[in-house]
């Protein structure tokens, strides 16, 4: 067995040896094959390069298809050769790989790939350049501009591709054949495109009426226009654009009224193409300049929007004037605007046009807001247009509330029946709010909510500037309470001595107050007085927050020595109105009116023929159509300054234009005699009566429209209604009218003008003139216990306040409940006669001590309040505390006070100045 094994091992060794000898020639062949494949790949990569470089050397571009073919083949052979080398290994592996990579980087990556990228980009650039040239040739302005920007962007951001091409001759071929041509196309139209772009901006500016910006664009390209080729299609189109813009500019350069249109039934917007001089459209009282605007309805009724009848505001750019009329607009009107000047004193031609005003758009609620330091019963509703308080029904948290006009026509102020606490949210229901064209809100009814913003921020003075010889206008950073300025503002001399106090009135808005010195100032020789204005912290904002800190500023008043100057003369409705630069009063009035056509003195006028009204001297004198001169004597009027500065002699021309008459079957207007207006009281109502007559019959709908009546310039209270009684036949030619005003809606007794307006006859003719008579409406609102708080400076004092001044207040008019017991028997009351609590009442509740042991041991003494009026501590009394105690008054903030209420007794005898009894039973819970 051993011998056989040895033979087998020998045989195996022989086989292995023979196999080794046979393998050596095969490995040599494999290495040779790798070298061949590497060589082929290197040759192909060089071929890919020469496929284009040999052609470009002749000044031509190679067939890109052939270049791609050889490039792709080179990539494939390079990848295959690398794979073969890595698989075969061997001693020459690294050398083969280095040869492959070096050739690829030098011929493919550095040469072929940049060439292909440049060629492809060149085709894009060539196409974009062709689009530019085509648009220019066709005269397509917008297309040319777009293509110009596209090519410019390519040249600016991508032409670096050309500079990466290997070989100067090839690189120059790209630059000369593509980039240079694109550059040339761009340069050729650069000025034209610049002109086009400038005139695009100019056209936009002209659409907006911005002539200054349009001129700036014109100037920017003026030199290019000199070289504009107007023979090409592009040049022709561009030239037409330029001419159109310049014609539009010239048209707008002539000052003119662009349009007159209604914003809504209450407001009209007058647009000018140039900024206008504010003094030529707005008077000194912020109303429309007298005689500048007239609106004549087609039935011959002139809607009063001149002078004091229309509030006027001018936009910041001076091109849009908004007129807010006392009356309303509806239908067609002959509109005239005349006598307006631009800010550079250029005359604006008279505008005359028939304009139709129609408001059919429902008002919308913009916001509901309320704010308070602790609580308020006021909610402000702001709408997107003027709305009427009359007829509006609003409830707060389901309880009916009163509605009154707000600070402006777009606002209504809602007064809730109870206070809303700061931070609380209330539900508001709004019904039947309508604009002045009687469009109701949508939706109707409308539900919304309001969260009472807590306002604990102190007001601050923003500025204080002297605005007259006795006036200072103070602006705050929030709305302030004008009444709080009383005794809180004074003027000191430079030595600190008191000079005078100030009266205060509201300014242009609720953040502005105008202060007027109570006493005349002692001006120095130079006509000035310098002192220190002090505004104390007693000044409050609307929420009751005190001024953050005492405000002090040195102010200098200058004596008014400037005489009033005539600013214009106009004629309307039989009256010649002379406008002045400031408020005037009559002095020694003397004027002569001359007919310019004949030279004849038409009239000599004096004070018997005139009245002053603010900045106006108005003469009553009917004149025929024509041109006139008025010669106003010196000293006819004086201003309202201490010096009483008087006017100088002045001569002015004015024109009387015949009032346009539109034929109608009935032009007679209804009449209301002022003397027919009377007042009386009937139960819970105050009645205002008058009589209106018209030969064809009165329009009863206009008579019964509550919005056609005002008292003291304000709408009549909610709940007012109107009844009519016809005298004679049923045609309504003679009508007795009764306005029923709820007495409870009159919060103060006031004598003021009651005005009837917009009453029409059946033909639509308005009354000859608004009927006005001074009447007295008596306070019918019962006073209300409105506040009860623990004094901030004394925990043992309650401070009670009422909704208005009251009299006859006594301790037994209240029921004070402490810890569930009526302690009225121990109540003391004192009226506050000065300080911040003036007009309020201090209430204290006396305490007694019951000593149950010796004087040495006080630990079981009892502090109590006498309740049953039986001497000594009894079961009916209220024990507050046991221990070491002292008699005095209840500390309302002590822990022994667990409940505290103040109520007005049912038999209280408290009343206001009109003897309206207090609302009994009103209860305020403090704890």
Question: Are both 790 and 697 inside the same structural domain?
Answer: no
Please tell me the predicted confidence (pLDDT) of residue 658: 65
SS3 153: helix
Same-domain status, 161 and 179? yes
Report yes or no: 402 and 717 within 8 Å, Cβ to Cβ.
yes
What pLDDT sits at residue 11?
40
In tens, the pLDDT along 396-407 reads 999 999 999 998
617, 566 contact by CB (below 8 A): no
**Closest by CA position to 300, among listed 665, 699, 765:** 765
Spatial distance between the Cα atoms of 741 and 390, rounded to a whole number of angstroms: 12
- Among 34, 148, 23, smallest CA distance to 89 is for 34
Q: Are residues 99 and 208 in the same domain?
A: yes
The pLDDT tens digits of the residues spanning 689-725 come to 999 998 888 888 888 888 888 898 788 888 888 888 8
The predicted structure's pLDDT at residue 858: 53
CA separation for the pair 695, 188 (Å, rounded): 82
Residue 57: predicted pLDDT: 87
Strands 267-272 and 320-325: antiparallel
> Do residues 337 and 257 touch, judged by C-beta distance below 8 A?
yes
3-state secondary structure of 503: strand
DSSP string, 99-127: HHHHHIIIIIIIIIHHHHHHHHHHHHHHH
Cα(811)–Cα(824) distance, integer angstroms: 8
Residue 926 pLDDT exceeds 50: yes
When pLDDT is cut at 50, 70 and 90, the band that residue 242 belongs to is confident
- Domain presence at residue 329: yes
pLDDT tens column, 745-773: 888 889 998 989 888 888 888 887 778 89
The Cα angle at residue 232 between residues 230 and 235, in degrees rounded to 5: 50
Q: Residue 595: inside a domain, yes or no?
A: yes
Tell me, yes or no, whether 664 lies in a domain. Answer: no
Lowest mean pLDDT among 6-15, 412-421, 567-576, 584-593: 6-15
Q: Which residues pair with 912 in a beta bridge?
A: 806
| Residue where a domain terminates, one of 656, 683, 717 | 656
Structure tokens at 52: 């284009």
Task: With a cut of 90, say whether residue 113 has pLDDT above it.
Answer: yes
Query: In this predicted structure, what is the pLDDT of residue 2?
Result: 43
CA 450 to the chain's CA centroid: 20
What are the DSSP calls for 596-629, one per residue? TTT--EEEEEEGGGEEEETTEEEEE----SEEEE
pLDDT band, residue 539 (cuts 50/70/90): very high
Instruction: Look at residue 446 and tell me if it is in a domain.
Output: yes
Whether residue 663 is contained in a domain is answered as: no
Considering the domain architecture, whether residues 832 and 907 belong to the same structural domain is answered as yes
232 contacts: CB under 8 Å, gap ≥ 6: 136, 137, 139
User: Rounded CA gap, 370 and 213, in Å?
Assistant: 44
- Token look-up 């002015």 returns 652
**893 near 790, Cβ under 8 Å?**
yes
Cα separation, 77 vs 71, in Å, equals 10
Are 693 and 743 a contacting pair, CB within 8 Å?
A: no
546-585 exposure pattern, b = at least 16 Cβ within 10 A, e = fewer: bbeeebebeeebebbeebbebbbbbbbeebbbbbbbbbbe
Q: Write out the H or E segment, with its range, that includes residue 43.
A: helix 2-56
- Round to whole Å and give the CA distance between 59 and 50: 14
Higher per-residue pLDDT: 101 or 231: 101
Rounded to an integer, what distance in angstroms lies between the CA atom of residue 730 and that of residue 753? 31
Cβ contact 731:725 at 8 Å: no
**How much of the chain exceeds pLDDT 70, in percent?**
91
For residue 283, give the nearest of 552, 591, 613 by alpha carbon.
613
CB 197 within 8 A of CB 152: no
Bigger pLDDT: 838 vs 673: 838
Residue 665: the pLDDT is 59
Contact 534, 619 (CB under 8 A): no
Does 799 score more than 80 pLDDT? yes
Domain co-membership, 47 together with 118: yes
Whether the per-residue pLDDT at 493 is higher than 60: the answer is: yes
* Between residues 378 and 658, the one the model is more confident about: 378
Whether 247 contacts 254, CB under 8 Å? no
In 208-254, which ranges are continuous DSSP H helix?
211-220, 222-225, 233-253
- Whether the CA torsion 787, 448, 444, 408 is positive or negative: it is positive
**pLDDT greater at residue 904 or residue 252:** 904
- What would the two tokens of residue 906 be? 């049912």
Residue 775: its pLDDT value, please?
Answer: 92
The yes-or-no verdict on residue 4 having pLDDT over 60 is: no
Residue 284 sits in the same domain as residue 427 = no
- pLDDT(350) > 50: yes
Write the CATH number for 538. Answer: 2.60.40.1220
Q: Which helix (H) or strand (E) holds 19?
A: helix 2-56
SS3 state at 186: helix
Joined tokens for residue 737: 């009218």
- For residue 142, the cross-strand partners are none
Q: Looking at the structure, tell me whether residues 450 and 470 fall in a common domain.
A: no
Q: Which of 757, 777, 779, 754 is nearest to 766 (CA)?
A: 757
Same domain? For 633 and 699 the reply is no
pLDDT(299) > 90: no
Same domain, 378 and 432: yes
Report DSSP state, residue 759.
-
Per-residue pLDDT at 1 exceeds 50: no
d(CA 626, CA 630): 13
The pLDDT confidence band at residue 153, using thresholds 50, 70 and 90, is confident
The answer to the question of residue 753 being in a domain is: yes
Q: Return the CATH number at 720.
A: 2.60.40
- Helix, strand or coil for residue 568? strand
Could you tell me if 791 and 761 lie in one domain? Answer: no
Terminus-to-terminus CA distance in the chain, angstroms?
123
- Which residue did the predictor score with more confidence, 704 or 234? 704
Task: Write the CATH number for 63.
Answer: 1.20.58.790
**Above 90 in pLDDT, residue 132?**
no
Q: What is the C-alpha to C-alpha distance for residues 742 and 779, in angstroms, rounded to an integer?
A: 10
- The per-residue pLDDT for 211 is 75
Residue with tokens 């041109």: 627
- Tell me the pLDDT tens digit for each residue of 591-650: 999 988 778 888 999 989 999 988 889 999 989 888 899 999 999 999 988 889 999 999
Query: What range does the domain containing 222 cover?
Result: 33-252
Q: Please give the C-alpha separations between residue 821 and each of 304, 818, 870, in angstroms, as whole numbers.
A: 65, 5, 15
Pair of tokens at residue 49:
């390069």
> How many domains are contained in the chain?
7
* Range 321-341 average pLDDT: 86
Which among 315, 338, 357 is the end of a domain? 357
Closest to 262 (Cα-Cα) out of 457, 125, 435: 435
Cα separation, 489 vs 535, in Å, equals 5
At 163 the pLDDT is 79
Residue 894's nearest CA partner among 819, 843, 822 is: 819
The answer to whether 761 and 694 are in contact (CB under 8 A) is: yes
Asked whether residue 853 carries a pLDDT value surpassing 50, the answer given is no
Residue 789 backbone zone (phi > 0: left; psi -120 to 50: alpha; other: beta): beta
* Structural domain contains residue 7: no
List, for residues 300-321, the tens digit of each pLDDT value: 544 444 444 788 999 999 999 9
How does the average pLDDT of the chain come out, rounded?
Answer: 85
The overall pTM is greater than 0.75: no
Residue 9: pLDDT above 50? no
**pLDDT of res. 465:** 96
Closest-CA residue to 292 (of 308, 281, 284): 281
Asked whether residue 21 is domain-assigned, the answer is: no
User: In the predicted model, what is the mean pLDDT of residues 524-531?
Assistant: 92
292: pLDDT strictly greater than 70:
yes
222/275 same-domain check? no
Pair 139, 212 in one domain: yes
Q: Give the pLDDT confidence score for residue 98 in this predicted structure.
A: 93
Among 726, 745, 777, the domain boundary falls at 777
Q: Is the pLDDT of residue 844 over 90?
A: yes
């Amino acid at each position: 067995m051993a011998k056989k094994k040895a033979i087998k091992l020998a045989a195996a060794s022989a086989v292995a040896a023979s196999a080794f000898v046979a393998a050596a020639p095969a490995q040599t062949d494999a290495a040779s094959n790798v070298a061949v494949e590497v060589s082929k790949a290197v040759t192909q990569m060089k071929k890919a390069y020469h496929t284009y470089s040999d052609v470009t050397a002749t000044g031509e571009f190679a067939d890109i298809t052939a270049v791609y073919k050889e490039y792709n083949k080179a990539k494939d052979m390079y990848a295959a050769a690398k794979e073969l080398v890595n698989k075969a290994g061997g001693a020459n592996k690294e050398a083969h790989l280095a040869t492959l990579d070096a050739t690829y980087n030098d011929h493919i990556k550095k040469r072929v790939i940049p060439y292909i990228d440049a060629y492809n980009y060149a085709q894009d650039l060539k196409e974009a350049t062709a689009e530019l040239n085509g648009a220019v040739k066709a005269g397509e302005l917008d297309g040319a501009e777009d293509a110009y920007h596209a090519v410019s962007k390519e040249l600016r951001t991508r032409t670096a591709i050309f500079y990466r091409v290997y070989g100067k001759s090839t690189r120059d071929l790209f630059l000369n054949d593509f980039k240079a041509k694109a550059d040339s196309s761009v340069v050729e139209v650069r000025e034209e495109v610049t002109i086009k772009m400038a005139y695009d901006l100019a056209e936009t500016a002209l659409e907006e009426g911005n002539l200054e910006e349009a001129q700036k664009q014109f100037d920017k390209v003026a030199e290019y226009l000199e070289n504009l080729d107007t023979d090409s299609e592009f040049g022709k189109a561009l030239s037409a654009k330029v001419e159109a813009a310049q014609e539009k500019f010239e048209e707008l350069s002539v000052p003119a009224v662009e349009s007159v249109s209604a914003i809504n039934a209450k407001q009209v917007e007058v647009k000018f193409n140039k900024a206008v001089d504010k003094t030529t459209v707005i008077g000194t009282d912020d109303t429309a300049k007298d005689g500048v605007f007239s609106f004549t309805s087609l039935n011959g009724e002139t809607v009063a929007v001149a002078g004091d009848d229309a509030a006027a505001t001018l936009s910041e750019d001076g091109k849009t004037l908004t007129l807010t009329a006392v009356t309303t607009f509806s239908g067609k009107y002959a509109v005239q605007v005349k006598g307006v000047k631009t800010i550079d004193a250029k005359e604006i031609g008279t505008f005359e046009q028939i304009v139709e005003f129609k408001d059919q758009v429902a008002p919308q609620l913009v916001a509901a807001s309320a704010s308070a330091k602790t609580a308020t019963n006021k909610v402000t509703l702001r709408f997107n247009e003027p709305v009427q308080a009359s007829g509006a029904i609003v409830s707060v948290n389901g309880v009916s509330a009163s509605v009154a006009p707000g600070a402006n026509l777009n606002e209504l102020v809602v007064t809730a029946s109870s206070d809303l606490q700061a931070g609380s949210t209330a539900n508001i229901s709004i019904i039947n709010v309508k604009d002045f064209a009687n469009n109701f809100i949508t939706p109707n009814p409308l539900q919304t909510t309001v969260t009472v913003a807590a306002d604990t921020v102190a007001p601050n003075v923003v500025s204080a500037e002297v605005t007259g010889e006795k006036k200072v206008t103070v602006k705050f950073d929030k709305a302030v309470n004008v009444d709080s300025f009383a005794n809180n503002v004074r003027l000191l001399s430079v030595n600190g001595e008191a000079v005078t106090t100030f009266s205060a009135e509201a300014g242009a808005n609720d953040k502005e107050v105008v202060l007027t010195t109570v006493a005349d100032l002692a001006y120095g020789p130079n006509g000035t007085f310098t002192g220190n204005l002090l505004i104390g912290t007693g000044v409050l904002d609307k929420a009751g927050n005190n001024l953050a800190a005492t405000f002090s500023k040195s102010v200098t008043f200058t004596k008014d020595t400037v005489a009033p100057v005539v600013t214009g003369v106009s004629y309307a409705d039989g009256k010649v109105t002379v406008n002045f630069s400031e408020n005037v009063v009559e002095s020694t009035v003397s004027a002569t009116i001359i007919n310019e056509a004949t030279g004849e003195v038409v009239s000599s006028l004096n004070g018997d023929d005139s009245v002053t009204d603010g900045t106006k001297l108005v003469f009553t004198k009917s004149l025929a159509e024509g041109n006139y001169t008025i010669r106003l004597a010196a000293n006819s009027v004086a201003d309202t300054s201490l010096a009483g500065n008087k006017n100088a002699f002045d001569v002015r021309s004015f024109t009387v234009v015949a009032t346009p008459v539109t034929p109608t079957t009935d032009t007679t207007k209804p009449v209301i005699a002022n003397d027919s207006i009377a007042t009386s009281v009937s139960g819970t109502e105050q009645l205002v009566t008058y009589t209106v007559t018209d030969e064809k019959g009165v329009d009863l709908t206009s008579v019964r429209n509550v919005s056609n009546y005002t008292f003291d310039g304000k709408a009549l209270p909610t709940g007012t209604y109107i009844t009519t009684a016809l005298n004679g036949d049923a045609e309504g030619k003679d009508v007795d009218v009764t306005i029923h005003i709820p007495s409870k809606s009159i919060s103060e007794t006031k004598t003021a003008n009651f005005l009837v307006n917009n009453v029409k006859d059946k033909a639509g003719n308005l009354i000859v003139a608004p009927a006005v008579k001074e009447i007295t409406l008596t306070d019918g609102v019962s006073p209300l216990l409105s506040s009860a708080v623990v004094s901030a400076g004394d925990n043992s004092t309650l401070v009670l306040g009422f909704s208005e001044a009251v009299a006859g207040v006594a301790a037994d008019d209240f029921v004070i409940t402490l810890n569930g017991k009526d302690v009225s028997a121990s109540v003391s009351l004192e009226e506050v006669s000065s300080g911040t609590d003036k007009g309020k009442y201090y209430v204290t509740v006396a305490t007694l001590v019951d000593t149950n042991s010796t004087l040495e041991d006080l630990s079981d003494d009892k502090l109590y309040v006498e309740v049953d009026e039986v001497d000594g501590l009894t079961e009916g009394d209220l024990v507050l505390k046991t221990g070491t105690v002292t008699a005095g008054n209840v500390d309302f903030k002590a822990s022994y006070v667990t409940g505290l209420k103040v109520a007005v007794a049912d038999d209280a005898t408290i009343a206001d100045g009109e003897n309206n009894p207090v609302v009994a039973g009103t209860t305020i819970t403090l704890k």
